[in-house]
Chains A and B, each alone.
Chain A
Amino acid sequence: MAAFSMRFMVILLLTMLPDVLAQASALQKKTAQKWTAQEFQPSTLNLSEQMQEMSWFIEASKPYQGMQIRVVSERIATHWYEASVLAKAFFEITGIHVVHELTGEDDVIKKLSAQILTGQNIYDAYINDSDLIGTHFRSGAVVALSDFIKAEGADVTLPSLDLQDFIGLKFTTGPDGKLYQLPDQQFANLYWYRHDWFNRADFKSAFKSLYGYELGVPQNWQAYEDIAAFFSEDIKEIDGQRIYGHMDYAKTDPSLGWRMSDAWFSMAGVGDRGLPNGLPVDEWGIRVEQCRPVGASVRRGGALNSPAAVYAVDKFKHWLTQYAPEQASELNFTQAGQWPGKGIIAQQIFWYTAFVADLTKPGLAVMNSDGTPKWRVAPSPVGKYWQGGMKSGYQDAGAWTLLKNTPLKRRQAAWLYAQFVVSKTVSLKKTLVGLTPIRLSDIESDVMTERAPYLGGLVEFYRSYGREVWTPTGTNVPDYPGLADYWWQYISQIIEGKVSTQTGLNNFAAAVDRHLARLGESAPGRCAPMLNPLSEKGFWLNRSGSPKPAINEHPAGKTLPYLEAVDVWK
Chain B
Amino acid sequence: MSGNSKNSDHVNLLSNQINIRLTSSCKAAVCIFLLLLPVFTLRAEPINILTYEESPYALMVGKTQKGLLVDMLAELFSRTSLQYKLRFIPLKRAIITVERKSGYCVLPIVRSQEREANFQWISPMLVSRYGLYSQEKRSIPLVTLNDARPYKIGSFLGSGIGEYLTDLGFDVQLTSLSALNLQKLKRGRFELWAEDLISAREMMRKQGIKFGRPELVFYTSIRAMACHRTMPVEQLKELHSALLSMYQDGFMKALYLEYGVEM
What residues make up the interface of A, taking CB atoms closer than 8 Å to B?
68, 70, 72, 83-84, 87-88, 91, 97, 99-107, 110-111, 114, 117-120, 122-123, 251-255, 332, 488, 492
For A72, A104, A120, A123, the residue with the greatest tally of chain B CB atoms inside 10 Å of its CB is A120
Instruction: Confirm or deny: B34 has a beta carbon within 8 angstroms of a beta carbon on chain A.
Output: no
How many Å lie between the Cα of A120 and that of B218 in the bound state? 18
Q: How far is the CB of A98 from chain B (nearest CB, A)?
A: 9
Q: Is B143 an interface residue (CB 8 A)?
A: yes
A105 / chain B contacts, CB cutoff of 8 Å: 113
| Contact between B222 and A253, CB atoms less than 8 A apart | no
Report the minimum CB–CB distance from A426 to chain B (whole Å). 16
Q: Is the CB of A106 within 8 A of B113?
A: yes
Q: Which residue of B is nearest A91, CB measured? A: B143
Q: Measured between C-beta atoms, what is the minimum distance from B150 to chain A in Å?
A: 13
Can you list 29 residue pairs at the A/B interface with Cβ under 8 Å? A72-B220, A83-B144, A84-B144, A84-B145, A84-B146, A88-B143, A88-B144, A99-B218, A100-B144, A102-B168, A103-B113, A103-B219, A107-B111, A107-B113, A110-B111, A110-B222, A111-B222, A114-B127, A114-B222, A117-B247, A118-B124, A120-B127, A252-B117, A253-B113, A253-B117, A254-B113, A255-B113, A332-B114, A488-B117
Q: A87 near B144 (CB under 8 angstroms)?
A: yes
State the Cβ distance, B219 to closest chain A Cβ, in Å. Answer: 6
| A117 surroundings in chain B (CB, below 8 A) | 124, 244, 247
Write out the residue numbers on chain B whose beta carbons fall within 8 Å of the beta carbon of A254: 113, 116-117
| Docked pose: A541 CA to B95 CA in angstroms | 47
Asked whether, in the complex, the Cβ of A118 is within 8 Å of the Cβ of B252, the reply is yes
**Given A117-B244, A122-B127, A107 contacting B143 (CB threshold 8 A):** no
Give bound CA distance, A87 to B218, whole Å: 13
| Nearest CB in chain A: distance from B6 CB, A | 25
Flag if B217 contacts A104 (CB, 8 Å). no
Q: Beyond A83-B146, A87-B143, A119-B247, is A114–B220 a contact (Cβ under 8 Å)?
A: no
How many angstroms between the C-alpha atoms of A563 and B144 in the bound complex?
Answer: 44
Most buried by B among A91, A97, A107, A111: A107
Chain B residues at the A interface, C-beta cutoff of 8 Å? 111-114, 116-117, 123-124, 127, 143-147, 164, 168, 216-220, 222, 244, 247, 252, 263
Q: Which residues of A contact B116 (CB under 8 A)?
A: 106, 253-254
Sort A-B residue pairs by CB-CB distance and give the 4 closest, nearest first: A104-B113, A84-B146, A106-B113, A114-B124
In the complex, what residues of B have CB within 8 A of residue A100's CB? 144
Q: Judging by beta carbons under 8 Å apart, are A107 and B112 in contact?
A: yes
Task: Determine the distance from Cα of A492 to Cα of B117 in the docked complex, in whole angstroms.
Answer: 10
Contact B143 A118 (CB under 8 A): no
Whose C-beta in chain B lies nearest to the C-beta of A118? B247
Residues of A within 8 A of B127 (CB): 114, 118, 120, 122
**Bound complex: CA of A255 vs CA of B168, how far in Å?**
19
Contact between chains at B123 and A110 (CB < 8 Å): yes
CB contacts (< 8 Å) of B219 on chain A: these are 101, 103
A101 to B144, CA, bound (A): 9
For A88, what are the chain B residues with a Cβ–Cβ distance below 8 Å?
A: 143-144, 147
Tell me the bound Cα distance from A111 to B223 in angstroms. Answer: 10
Judge whether A111 and B117 touch: CB under 8 Å. no
Q: What residue in chain A is nearest B256 (Cβ atoms)?
A: A120
Cα A88 to Cα B142 in complex, Å, equals: 10
A108 nearest in chain B by CB position: B113
Chain B's nearest CB lies how many Å from the CB of A195? 31
B164 contacts across to A, CB distance below 8 A: 103
What are the residues of chain A within 8 A of B220 when measuring CB–CB? 70, 72, 101, 111, 122-123
Closest to A488 in B: B117
| Complex CA distance for A102 and B219, rounded to whole angstroms | 8
> What is the minimal beta-carbon distance from B159 to any residue of chain A, in angstroms?
15
Would you give the shortest CB distance from A357 to chain B, in whole angstroms?
Answer: 16
B151 CB → nearest A CB, Å: 15
Inside 8 A of A332's CB, which chain B residues have their CB? 114
User: Which of the residues B111, B145, B217 comes within 8 Å of A83, measured between beta carbons?
Assistant: B145
Q: Within the complex, what minimum Cβ distance (angstroms) separates B197 from chain A? A: 13
Interface centre among A91, A100, A102, A110 (most CB of B within 10 A): A110
In the complex, chain B residues whose CB is within 8 Å of the CB of A70: 220
Q: Chain A residues near B117: list those with CB within 8 A.
A: 251-254, 488, 492
Tell me which of A83, A103, A120 contacts B263 (CB under 8 A): A120
User: By the criterion CB–CB under 8 Å, are B112 and A104 in contact?
Assistant: yes
State the CA gap A332–B112 with chains docked (Å).
Answer: 14
Known: A106-B113, A110-B111, A252-B117. 15 other contacts (CB 8 A): A68-B217, A72-B220, A83-B144, A84-B144, A104-B114, A106-B116, A110-B123, A114-B127, A114-B222, A119-B247, A122-B127, A122-B220, A253-B116, A254-B113, A332-B114
